[in-house]
Structure 1
Amino acid sequence: MIILNSEKEDYHVHSLNFSDGMNTIDELVRFSGEIGMKKLAIADHSQAALNALGWSKKNPREVLKRWKNIYNEVEVLFGVEADLLNEQGDICAHIQGFQGDFTILSYHPNVYRGDKKKLSEAYLRAIEKHHAILSVIGHLYVNCQGVDIAAVIASANTHHIPLELNCFYLISKRDLDENALNLVLEQADQIYVNSDAHTLAELKESRKQGFRYLEQIQGEWTGQGLKV
């Protein structure tokens, strides 16, 4: 398994400007420089999530073309946390019609509109149909009842799509399936360690805990994978 980012990079952060983060893009970028980060992907929730949850539009997405980092040397990407929509593999990968520089595919029960008994098919078809734009599969080990985790990981590996170690769910344990998490760490070819930060405190601390977790379990790895 290859870890694609260091503690100085985070590819899953939410802003106040476009979804449910507590801080603005400028606040996130300024703070990321203060804590020594090198790269930041602000990947806000997709339009499907914004509509389903009734979150109001705060800024026009097109204004990002005019935005510049005037604070520091942190490289900033504007991504989208895309939503899995149904068992046909349809996804929503845009905000206000704009796709991102980095696309996370995630399942959120309150956004998905398909048959929840067919989530395996949903993931597999989405990967097959949209792999060209997918940067990572987000928090696969969360809300994953009935999902064939191994099959989804195998498909992601085939299409060279990394899996995510999402530190928010790792720390909070909310809706987390530890067996599925272990499978991800055993079988994924590549992973990103991301904070899924909605606050500055999470941006600063969550990734550190994720990397510490990986260090702690290294002693439990065998030639066949992680002991469960």
Structure 2
Amino acid sequence: MPIGFGAFVEEINLRQIGESDTGKLREALLEYGLLVVRDQGLAPDEQVAASRIFGSLETFPNTGNQVAGVPQIFRVASRPADGHVEVGRYWHSDGSFREVATPITLWQTVEEAREGGQTLFTDLQLAYRELSLEMKRKVEKLITVHRNGILHPLVMLHPKTGRPGLYLNMGLTHHIQGLREGESEELMAELDQHFSRPGATYIHAWQKGDFVIADNLRVAHKATSVSADQRRILNRTTVSGNDVFWNKVDGREKLVA
């Protein structure tokens, strides 16, 4: 990944992960923002277990095309019978519509496409650093408003590292507070292009057995299309913002004054 973020993790078996490896994975995620672990092929219950090393998991309703008995899995697919389709084809961080934003997303390949279906990732902290000084001044105190009314700072400080990064869901953000409608749309379009600037994205082509971990407050992602004549399935788990690993000390909840 010669783009300044992200790392491949080698020689690890997520079915048999000890305390030392857990600590290393957590540290690596904070350092790189995106981790790719090859050749895992985790079953749904194994994925849930591996995901829990980063915190408690969010749950989702079973709409009939999900994994029965495993509400922690949100399945996305190329065909409606296999999972949710047409999901996230714009720059976003999962769970930004929540008051306490979803901090971590994890995916496991179930069926890979022959062609297409890649996922793009971009570094939100680098995106902020590479803004002009004038643009930094423009965005630093702005607030985004989601369609459901949830507010988030456009420049978000990472709760663990304290580093600033842009935080903007291109599909679910209704407007930016304090800007006229045209100004809000213009700024969002400009930042959308900035996320996709040359050399800023890592394009992940899903392979059999891939397990990918993303810090949603450090990186955004964007799905690409895959034809319905191909069977492509990803199982996705997400960590709750109220119970992510960096809010714990020695396995216990932090005390918040």
TM-score (norm 1): 0.27
The structure showing larger relative contact order (alpha-carbon pairs under 8 Å, at least 6 residues apart) is 2
Greater strand content: 2
Greater helix content: 1
